[in-house]
Structure 1
Amino acid sequence: MSDTVNCSILLTDLPLPERPAAAKAAGFDAVEFWWPFAAAVPEAGEVDAFVAAIQDAGVRLTGLNFYAGDMPAGDRGIVSWPGREGEFQANVEAVVAIGERLGTRAFNALYGNRVEGASAQEQDDLAVRNLAFAAQAVARIGGVVLLEPVSGAPAYPLTKAADALAVIDRVRAEHGVDNVRLLADFYHLAVNGDDVPAVIAAHAADFGHIQIADAPGRGEPGTGDLPLADWIAASRAGGYAGPIGLEYKATQADPFAWARD
């Protein structure tokens, strides 16, 4: 299958180290994760255990998020968070080290919410610098940084593809960095009211990654009314050749039955 299972949102009935093997048993050869550690810079033993879980399962790690703060508490990244530059940059080095060990080449940088005490311009200027730093770092291993619009987080300023693309253009113009790419999450774009077919028609060849879930509900394909198969086919026809990230919430005993059907 050309799909990659997001093991941070799927297979959550299992301990995290067991999820890559469960994805393999379900018929998938690739997985992706949000940042799987509590700290921006995990202990060496934690990293070794995570790497071993991927390698022992016989799957590829196609994508990994940078540290995004306290996600359960509502954080959605620290890229644009003044005062946390050092933390982010230290995390970048940790991410690159994991990517080098596992052959991972796509790294998702959640932009971050608007925070009190900082202007939007201050946050956006910082984000551009941090994204350039991250992109230059992952370039050492042939990687790309992904930037995505997100739904369900009112303080997160990137809600449509054009918002993320404008940031990507700034990084390129101001830092000469050309390996920051749009993560087209069709669920987030659709529920935020974006024109997904238009985004695909204009930008599919430049997508860094695609993720899917159905809407409403963020469940498996077929549980809502999004034409996901049509959008994926249009993206392939438009030049996207990468995997499709399965980033939905399981609503059924077999969350992959739709793929086998």
Structure 2
Amino acid sequence: MSGPVSDPVGDARAGGARTGYSVNCSILFTELPLLQRPAAARAAGFDTVEFWWPFAEPVPPEADVRAFEAAIRDSGVQLGALNFDAGTMDAGERGLLSLPHRGADFRANVQVVAGIGERLGCLLFNALYGNRSPEYSPAEQDAEALRNLREAAAAVAPFGGTVLLEPLSGAPDYPLKTAADVFAVLADLHGAGTDNAALLADLYHLAVNGDDVAALLAGGAAARFGHVQIADAPGRGAPGTGQLPLTQWISDLRAGGYRGEVSLEYRAPLRNAFAWLEDPGAGVG
């Protein structure tokens, strides 16, 4: 006779919505097929989900787009944020928009992303900048990035969308590593007349890259964040598995004027992925 069947979604459920938090279904719920993850997130108590680009190409088949949208709608969750296509992540790519030979792919992807966003009411769109390439000078890449970011921002502006820029760790050729790096690009964008762009403050990436997160928050940067993601370090696990004072930082975010959701973008098995939310002060930094 077989033993009891495990119910990982049931094990993760806390009963009631996770107020103030969203969950990234590209890095969590990976035990499940992608289209089942929005419903699993809802069953675990989340009202809002987000995804990295969930398709294999910049312009996927229309049927695949519709299936993704149906999975979001049918589950009863809100799509809070969506990445533009960032290329082949497993091969080391970290964005297309600063690469002149990939600019056309990015611009084609913008139209697909904007369509999904408008139909689903998603307002936040993360654009990974792209690695530095020896084929181009940094100035050439930055000019390409400015062009493509402006086009992306213009595409989502009519329905209130914002383009996000994110510093990344673990990618030596990726040029945006600190909040200051992103703020410099945003200054160029704002100077060119594009106002609907903002920093995606992934506190894990910032901390791993040596940025002083506490000083950023104390200095009033939180009110300028377009979105926030968290994971503990080292390890990129759930809060409490590393050494970052995430509970304090979340409190400082709120006190500093950040009004958005905090996205859970860490790696953890579904069975205990959200246990820290039952006692968020336990063992968290």
Are 1:58 and 2:54 counterparts? no
Are 1:240 and 2:258 counterparts? yes
Which residue identity does 2:200 align to in structure 1? L
1:199 is aligned to 216
For residue 87 of structure 2, the aligned residue among 62, 66, 69 is: 69
For residue 37 of structure 1, the aligned residue among 55, 73, 76 is: 55
1:28 is aligned to 46
Shift of 1:153: 0.4
CA contact (8 A) 1:105 1:143 kept: yes
- Greater Cα radius of gyration, structure 1 or 2: 2
Q: How does 1:4-19 map to 2 (within 5 A)?
A: 4-19=22-37
2:112 is aligned to 94
2:99 is aligned to 81
* 3-state DSSP of counterpart to 1:35: coil
Shift of 1:251: 5.0
1:177 is aligned to 194
TM-score (norm 1): 0.98
For residue 146 of structure 2, the aligned residue among 128, 149, 166 is: 128
1:144 is aligned to 162
CA contact (8 A) 2:29 2:270 kept: no
CA contact (8 A) 1:134 1:145 kept: yes
* 3-state DSSP of counterpart to 1:85: helix
**CA distance in 2 between partners of 1:199 and 1:82 (Å):** 33
**CA distance in 1 between partners of 2:38 and 2:122 (Å):** 15
Any unmatched runs of 5+ in structure 2? 1-18, 280-285
**CA distance in 2 between partners of 1:216 and 1:179 (Å):** 33
**CA distance in 1 between partners of 2:36 and 2:180 (Å):** 38
2:238 is aligned to 220
2:229 is aligned to 211
Cα deviation digits, residues 94-129 of structure 1 (max 9, x gap): 000000111000000000001121011110111111
Which residue identity does 2:266 align to in structure 1? Y
Shift of 1:260: 2.2
| Dislocated runs of 4+, deviation >3 Å | none
For residue 137 of structure 2, the aligned residue among 95, 98, 119 is: 119
Any unmatched runs of 5+ in structure 1? none
Provide the identity percentage: 61
For residue 203 of structure 2, the aligned residue among 186, 193, 197 is: 186
For residue 250 of structure 1, the aligned residue among 263, 268, 273 is: 268
**CA distance in 2 between partners of 1:135 and 1:158 (Å):** 19
CA contact (8 A) 2:239 2:246 kept: yes
**CA distance in 1 between partners of 2:251 and 2:50 (Å):** 22
Aligned length: 260
1:165 is aligned to 183
CA contact (8 A) 1:219 1:251 kept: no
